[in-house]
Amino acid sequence: MSDPKPRQPKTITLEMLQKMFVNISEKTDWDMTSEMLWGYFFTHHEPGALEVARDLLVEQGYRFVNIYQLEEEDPNAPRPWWLHLEKEETHTPASLDVRNDELYQFAYDQGLDSYDGMDIGPIETEGE
């Protein structure tokens, strides 16, 4: 029997999130006290596990965007599969840190290679 997969180290810290929020407030006119469109990303070496993860996260209110592979400059480099989901949420650095902890744990529980992090943008309304 093989050893269980090691847990991914937490690479996105609360301090990093605090700096990100300061940067957003200084460089955009986004109202971070209202709902924003948050994108969340996972990686795995094959798409099947990401499809299972997608279904579980959609049940939790996330919106599926895509499962895809990026082109690598080095054709011999591994090409992981990516899962991208979105959710309209309001976060503070502390609440986003909790969300990230939940998603790190989810990736571990599902045996995924990684929870890769998040991105943010304003919620687009029709006509914008």
> Is the pLDDT at 3 greater than 60, yes or no?
no
Torsion, Cα 86 92 94 100, to 10 degrees, reads 10
Predicted pLDDT of residue 126: 66
pTM value is: 0.89
> pLDDT higher for 95 or 9?
95
Distances (CA, A) of 79 to 24, 42, 72, 95, 115: 31, 13, 7, 32, 16
Predicted pLDDT of residue 7: 74
What tens digit of pLDDT does each residue of 57-73 get? Answer: 999 999 999 999 988 78
What tens digit of pLDDT does each residue of 99-126 get? Answer: 999 999 999 999 999 999 999 999 987 6
**Could you say which of 3.30.460.80, 1.20.1630.10, 3.30.1360.30, 3.30.70.970 is the CATH number of the domain covering 36-121?**
3.30.70.970
Structural domain spans, the chain: 36-121
Among candidate residues 103, 123, 100, 121, the one with its CA nearest the CA of residue 112 = 103
Distance CA 83, CA 23 (A): 26
> pLDDT higher for 8 or 32?
32
